[in-house]
Chains A and B, each alone.
Chain A
Amino acid sequence: MRQLRAWLSRVGELFGKGRREQEFSAEIDSHLQLHIDDNLRRGMSQTQARREAIMKLGGVEQTKENYRERRGLPLLEVFFQDLRFGARLLHKNPGFTLVAVLTLALGIAANATIFSFVSAILYQRPPVYDSDRVLVVYGTTAARGPGANVNPVSAPNYFTWKRENRVFSDLAALEPYISVSLTGKDEPERISANRATANYFSVIGVAPVLGRAFANGDDQAGHDRVVLLDYRFWERKFGSDPNVVGKTIRLNGAEHTVIGVLPRRFQIMSFRSQVWLPLVLDESQQGAAARQTRTLYLFARSKPGVTLDQAQSDLRTLGSLAVQLFPDTETGRDTSCLTLQEYIIHDFNANAAFVILLSAVGFVLLIACANIAGLLLARATSRGKEMAIRIAIGAGRARVLRQLMTEALLIALLGTIAGLGLALGGTQLLHKVLSFNEAIKMLDMQIDWRVLSYTSAIAVLSALLFGLAPALRAWAVDVFPTLKNDSTKVSAGKKKSRGRSLLVAAEVAMAVMLLTGAGILIKGFLEGLHRSLGFQPQHLLTAQITLPESHYKEPAKQIEFYSELAARLEAMPGATSAAITSNLPAAGAGFMSFLLKGQENLSPADRPRARYYVVSAHYFETIQASVIAGRVFAESDGPNSQPVAVVTEKFVARFFPQGDALGKQIRIDSSDAVATQWRQIVGIVHDVKSWPLNYADDPEVYEPFSQHPAAEMSVVVRAVNDANSLAPGLREAVWSLDRDQPIGSVINMPDLLGNETAPDLIFSELMMVFAVLALVLAGIGIYGLVAFTVGQRSQEIGIRVALGAEKKNILRMVLLDGLRLAAIGAAIGMLGAFPLPRLFEAALYDFHVLGGWLFVIVPALIGAVALLACYIPARRASRVDPMVALRYE
């Protein structure tokens, strides 16, 4: 209680300070007067009496200072006093303030922007009810690599697990990435669709904004002609019609009743589609084919109180049970689960990229801090006398330290405010640049409390970092020499300039590391990009076509349609050739396992795998992939002739090390009976990249379309000139064959490749931006420190010149001093950068790039910047007029 009372009265004493100060002065005066009176009475002289009284008091000012410490709240008062003083200093040196604040603002802005992006991804709440209890159940295999360990599940396993598990209150299945044709409304159109079991929306806990979600029975065969609309699809196709529920649309030739519209922001992972249909599964299908059709994504709602660990261990039991019961199809497979949120992060597979980006901006901030520390250190040198005086007249060293730290915090505060302003623009820019990605487009990237607290934390940390050097310096001030010596000293001496040398070296080291890291990533991107695709993407037009089952169920009809289409496309004016393919080149065809003749008893899990394509006769000619040996497919490879296959060089190198692939027999595993027959390798073609940025080629195998037709295919047409000019002709050709046939995304090959490479390109560009920022900041930092040192040494230089040193000697001396530091820093930076290629290789999938010439170029670049940064002050030094320099002071 007493303490509270005392504290309250101290708070009260914060006000009316002048009056209290006067009153205490008066009290001390009266004290002295009383004492002097006494002394006089004892017979001392006036001077003696006064002197004795003051001595006995212990000094007037000291007493006052002690008294002040007890009055009011000195800590707070001192803080405000320091703040005012700091603000005044900053105000009086606008140049210094501007440079320091801007430098820090750049560093803070880079960090805040990247962090807001990372935190938006890591902390996004999936748009579902009680998301912590929504789990994603997936299959795992022994395979390595991103995404490889998170696999969709087969229908038989779905039914078994749904029945046998003890941890979920319900389990739902989703089959994404299918497409259906929409007809009877404007032009026929291919639209994306997801199929989900009737309980899907109740499991994830999402209600439609209009109408109802799927209900029990909607996923029973014969009752499944209902459809839920995506919000944007509803806007686009129905003009946001509020009475859409109950209307019908024609999908795949059958009327479906619209039962509801999903919320605007409803998207989970990359599963956004225009319509949602019921998923009809047949539990009686338990054969090997059904077990190998793994297309389902399972979503569970865990029972209350069930932990993730319990759910995972229950699933492991179920997984091993499946292996025991069905060794043929389940061996080597297991199952597990993650919460939806963790799964989304896992699915994004960008953790390594996050770490790299955050480290890069961290380095930028460190360099910015080093710059500011340099500036403050330079100022501290010129303020040495001020500090010495402060200490001499009674300020404790801790007090001086506190004042310097307050100044640093003030700079940090201004820098953070400016930096957050920049970051506001930065996040918007980044969001715009990244919005080619649907999932990122949905993200809420903003400066929220997480970003604010992160930014404040790094700002305070920065202030401590750059405030440290000048503070240490003030701590070590020697009062007497500093006051006595004035500044007539000739040069600072080694010890004084050690801090600055350290800063220069550190800045160079950090810049070298950042530049090398960014360089390696960019080099990797360019190497991936410029490695030959294995085909000519220019002048290629592509399109997706899926024939509806209602009209084209028989393989013969599919062959008829596509052969006729290819012929009509080739006949178009401006087209040289056209072909049909199951997957476009460099668009990530899937892997398929196969058997070599003589190895029939290999279990499915041990069989060799290759990327698998089905292509029509003129495919290789159209994409202009070169033939190495044998022949490619021809019209003569019909449904009834000898089954054949074409493979790539890599395929031969991997599976026929002797190079004797031609004429050998292989059998590709497929659920489709037509395809599972032995086929002869008749030709070898040049490797075609499976993704545009791949560093290494995968083995690939091709089957002729006529021997393995399918309904869903892609079209490639080679144009003489502009591929896009063929687009109307392509549409006309399709519709001349079938008026109701929708056409999916007509796009030319270079654009398609561009979409694929965009994320890596942006990642590289971001790294480039940060690297350049680091280089510029480091350059400015070196310049500032060297220029300051030269200024400090102008008298020494003046003496040298007076004693006969030539201009070029002076120039060389200053240059060499600066460059020596840069060289030391560069060497340290190289040591730090040396393990980077291996680090990236471990962190990033499918990335192996060596530093190579980067380890020469980066130090050379830094050297050039350092040279420039030292040259300007060095030239100034060489022009020092000894008369002026020595007369000065």
Chain B
Amino acid sequence: MGDKAAEKRDVWQGTLALMVLKTLQAMGPLHGYGIARRIEQTSGDLLAVNYGTLYPALLKLEQEGYISSEWGFSDNNRKAKYYKLTRAGRKQLNKEEREWEQTTAILARFLAPGEERS
């Protein structure tokens, strides 16, 4: 059981990083809860993962220098830690987006119905 969970989390962590970067690009500086909400809304009910798993991913991105953080205040005046993309983060996002598109394009070709390869 532990093994399966770990496997699932690895996949999640990989794509999660990309989603976080994309979210920050689209929304500008945002706190952890906001990022989690945004990802959940965008993905619909498909991503029913605990919000808590977001934080190690944020920490990893920060360690790698793709995002930075500082404390600020939310709309309704709550103290919160805001994350934003760094320049390296933007570059990394572009790169990962391209890679992702490539991967999905290849996969799409494989999975396209009725197209037998000769």
- A30-B79, A30-B80, A34-B31 are known contacts. Are A57 and B51 too (CB-CB below 8 A)? yes
Residue A56 interfacial (CB < 8 Å): yes
Residue B78 interfacial (CB < 8 Å): yes
- A2-B64, A30-B79 are known contacts. Are A66 and B32 too (CB-CB below 8 A)? no
How many chain A residues touch B (Cβ–Cβ < 8 Å)?
A: 29
Residue B114 interfacial (CB < 8 Å): no
Q: What residues of chain B lie closer than 8 Å to A33, measured between beta carbons?
A: 78
Residues A56 and B51 in contact, CB atoms below 8 Å apart: yes
Q: What residues of chain A lie closer than 8 Å to B56, measured between beta carbons?
A: 66-67, 69-70
In chain B, positions 31-55 with a C-beta closer than 8 Å to chain A are 31-34, 37, 50-53, 55
As a 0/1 sequence over residues 1 to 18 of chain A, the CB contacts with chain B under 8 angstroms (1 = contact) are: 010011001100000000
Residues A62 and B64 in contact, CB atoms below 8 Å apart: no
Q: What residues of chain A lie closer than 8 Å to B80, measured between beta carbons?
A: 27, 30-31, 34
Residues A9 and B63 in contact, CB atoms below 8 Å apart: yes
Q: What residues of chain A lie closer than 8 Å to B78, measured between beta carbons?
A: 30, 33-34, 37
Residues B59 and A57 in contact, CB atoms below 8 Å apart: no
As a 0/1 sequence over residues 61 to 85 of chain B, the CB contacts with chain A under 8 angstroms (1 = contact) are: 0111100000000101011110000
- Min C-beta distance of B62 to chain A, whole Å: 8
Q: What residues of chain A lie closer than 8 Å to B37, measured between beta carbons?
A: 38
In chain A, positions 37-88 with a C-beta closer than 8 Å to chain B are 37-38, 56-59, 62-63, 66-67, 69-71
Residue B87 interfacial (CB < 8 Å): no
Residues B51 and A5 in contact, CB atoms below 8 Å apart: no
Residues A67 and B33 in contact, CB atoms below 8 Å apart: no
- A5-B64, A56-B51, A57-B50 are known contacts. Are A30 and B81 too (CB-CB below 8 A)? yes
Indicate which residue in A9, A34, A58 contacts B52 across the interface (CB closer than 8 Å): A58
Residues B60 and A70 in contact, CB atoms below 8 Å apart: yes
- A30-B80, A34-B31, A37-B78 are known contacts. Are A5 and B52 too (CB-CB below 8 A)? no
Q: What residues of chain B lie closer than 8 Å to A38, measured between beta carbons?
A: 37
Residues B81 and A37 in contact, CB atoms below 8 Å apart: no
Residue A35 interfacial (CB < 8 Å): yes
Indicate which residue in B52, B55, B64, B79 contacts A6 across the interface (CB closer than 8 Å): B64
Q: What residues of chain A lie closer than 8 Å to B31, measured between beta carbons?
A: 30-31, 34
A66 to B56, CA, bound (A): 7
Closest to A398 in B: B2
- Min C-beta distance of A58 to chain B, whole Å: 3
Q: What residues of chain A lie closer than 8 Å to B51, measured between beta carbons?
A: 31, 35, 56-58
Indicate which residue in A2, A31, A58 contacts B33 across the interface (CB closer than 8 Å): A31
Residues A67 and B50 in contact, CB atoms below 8 Å apart: no
Indicate which residue in B55, B63, B65, B74 contacts A66 across the interface (CB closer than 8 Å): B55
- A31-B32, A33-B78 are known contacts. Are A70 and B59 too (CB-CB below 8 A)? yes
Task: Tell me the dominant secondary structure on chain A's binding face.
Answer: helix
Q: What residues of chain A lie closer than 8 Å to B50, measured between beta carbons?
A: 56-59, 63
- Min C-beta distance of B49 to chain A, whole Å: 8
Residues B32 and A5 in contact, CB atoms below 8 Å apart: no
Q: What residues of chain A lie closer than 8 Å to B81, measured between beta carbons?
A: 23, 26-27, 30
Indicate which residue in A34, A59, A67, A396 contacts B55 across the interface (CB closer than 8 Å): A67
Closest to B56 in A: A70
Q: What residues of chain B lie closer than 8 Å to A2, measured between beta carbons?
A: 64-65
Q: What residues of chain A lie closer than 8 Å to B60, measured between beta carbons?
A: 6, 70
Indicate which residue in A5, A10, A57 contacts B65 across the interface (CB closer than 8 Å): A5
Q: What residues of chain A lie closer than 8 Å to B62, measured between beta carbons?
A: 9
- Min C-beta distance of B35 to chain A, whole Å: 10
Closest to A6 in B: B63
Residues B53 and A10 in contact, CB atoms below 8 Å apart: no
Q: What residues of chain B lie closer than 8 Å to A56, measured between beta carbons?
A: 50-51
A35 to B32, CA, bound (A): 11
A56 to B39, CA, bound (A): 14
Q: What residues of chain B lie closer than 8 Å to A23, measured between beta carbons?
A: 81
Q: What residues of chain A lie closer than 8 Å to B32, measured between beta carbons?
A: 27, 31
As a 0/1 sequence over residues 1 to 26 of chain B, the CB contacts with chain A under 8 angstroms (1 = contact) are: 01000000000000000000000000
Residues B59 and A67 in contact, CB atoms below 8 Å apart: yes
Residues B64 and A66 in contact, CB atoms below 8 Å apart: no
Closest to A41 in B: B76
Residues B63 and A34 in contact, CB atoms below 8 Å apart: no
A31 to B33, CA, bound (A): 5
A69 to B13, CA, bound (A): 14
Closest to B57 in A: A70
Residues A37 and B76 in contact, CB atoms below 8 Å apart: yes
A358 to B2, CA, bound (A): 45
- Listed residue (B56, B59, B64) with the most chain A CB atoms within 10 angstroms of its CB: B59
Indicate which residue in B52, B63, B74, B79 contacts A10 across the interface (CB closer than 8 Å): B63
A361 to B92, CA, bound (A): 61
Indicate which residue in B52, B74, B76 contacts A62 across the interface (CB closer than 8 Å): B52
Q: What residues of chain B lie closer than 8 Å to A35, measured between beta carbons?
A: 33, 51
Closest to A55 in B: B50
Residues A63 and B76 in contact, CB atoms below 8 Å apart: no
- Min C-beta distance of A35 to chain B, whole Å: 6
- Min C-beta distance of B18 to chain A, whole Å: 15
Closest to A61 in B: B52
- Min C-beta distance of B105 to chain A, whole Å: 26
A28 to B60, CA, bound (A): 17
A277 to B97, CA, bound (A): 89
- Min C-beta distance of A789 to chain B, whole Å: 35
- Min C-beta distance of A446 to chain B, whole Å: 48
Residues A58 and B63 in contact, CB atoms below 8 Å apart: no
A70 to B50, CA, bound (A): 17
Q: What residues of chain B lie closer than 8 Å to A26, measured between beta carbons?
A: 79, 81
- Min C-beta distance of A770 to chain B, whole Å: 47
A396 to B32, CA, bound (A): 28
Indicate which residue in A5, A24, A28, A67 contacts B63 across the interface (CB closer than 8 Å): A5
Q: What residues of chain B lie closer than 8 Å to A62, measured between beta carbons?
A: 52
Q: What residues of chain A lie closer than 8 Å to B65, measured between beta carbons?
A: 2, 5-6
As a 0/1 sequence over residues 218 to 261 of chain A, the CB contacts with chain B under 8 angstroms (1 = contact) are: 00000000000000000000000000000000000000000000
29 pairs from A and B in contact (CB 8 Å cutoff): A2-B64, A5-B63, A5-B65, A6-B65, A9-B62, A9-B63, A10-B63, A23-B81, A24-B55, A26-B79, A27-B32, A27-B55, A30-B31, A30-B33, A31-B33, A34-B31, A34-B34, A34-B80, A35-B33, A35-B51, A37-B76, A56-B51, A58-B51, A59-B50, A63-B50, A63-B53, A67-B55, A67-B56, A70-B56
Q: Across the A-B interface, give the 7 residue pairs with the lowest CB-CB distance, nearest first.
A: A58-B50, A63-B52, A58-B52, A70-B56, A6-B63, A34-B33, A30-B80
**Contacts beyond the supplied A66-B55, A67-B56, A67-B59: 6 A-B pairs with Cβ under 8 Å:** A24-B55, A30-B31, A30-B81, A34-B33, A57-B51, A57-B52
B interface, CB within 8 angstroms of A = 2, 31-34, 37, 50-53, 55-56, 59-60, 62-65, 74, 76, 78-81
